[in-house]
Amino acid sequence: MPFPALLRRSSSTDQAASFADVAAAAGVGRTTVHRYFPERSALLAAIGTDVLDSVAVATERARLEDGPALKGLERLCQELFELGDRLMLLFDMPQFRNWSGWEEETPADKALLRLIRRGQEEGTLDPEPDAYWIQNVLWALLYTAWEQARDYETPRHTALTLCLHTLRKAVAP
């Protein structure tokens, strides 16, 4: 099994999952997991890297340069929403708060900030809050949507619809 597939198949919301649990979720043996990741820190770093790579791909697929900025934000939300289980794992695990793989601003962050500033300049997004505020609102809304779907069993499409509805209102000029 290719390395990224192992990570994606093994992503779990169980922060205390053992190597055996990870292996079972991935459908492989524990020794296979140990072959790729001799220590838990190596597994966590690989998961973090894989998630950041997935965010970069989602950002590209959202075509942030195409059309009005609000439509780009909506496409990005839809793309990122699909990464919810893996992103929630990162956000909820204290080990990732100090992970050296986090950059201050990733290329995906920079693309989002450019989109927000473009929308503010063209008058389609509220010009009053700074771009970082809107970026944080976007992530907070996504987190809330993922949590709503996970903890309250709200259908995923409903949680995403609510996220997009609230985002439109939050960034309206």
* CATH code for position 27: 1.10.10
- Tell me, what CATH number does 127's domain have? 1.10.357.10
The domain of 110 spans 49-171
Q: What does the pLDDT average to over 23-36? A: 78
Is 82 found in the same domain as 29?
A: no
Is 63 found in the same domain as 34?
A: no
User: Over 90: is that where the pLDDT of 159 sits?
Assistant: yes
Residue 120 lies inside a defined structural domain of this protein? yes
Q: What does the pLDDT average to over 152-171? A: 98
What average pLDDT is seen over the chain? 87
Q: Length of the chain, please? A: 173
Tens-digit pLDDT profile for residues 91-131: 888 777 777 777 779 999 999 999 999 999 999 999 999 99
| Contact between residue 149 and residue 159 where contact means Cβ atoms under 8 Å apart | yes
Predicted local confidence at residue 156, as pLDDT: 97
Is 93 found in the same domain as 149?
A: yes
Torsion angle of the four alpha carbons 73, 113, 126, 82, in this order, in degrees rounded to the nearest 10: 20
- Smallest CA-to-CA distance from 28 within 44, 54, 7 is with 7
Predicted local confidence at residue 89, as pLDDT: 82
Q: Is the dihedral of CA 115, 72, 83, 107 positive or negative?
A: negative
Q: Which parts of the chain fold into alpha helices (H)? A: 3-10, 19-26, 30-36, 40-61, 69-81, 84-92, 107-122, 131-151, 156-171
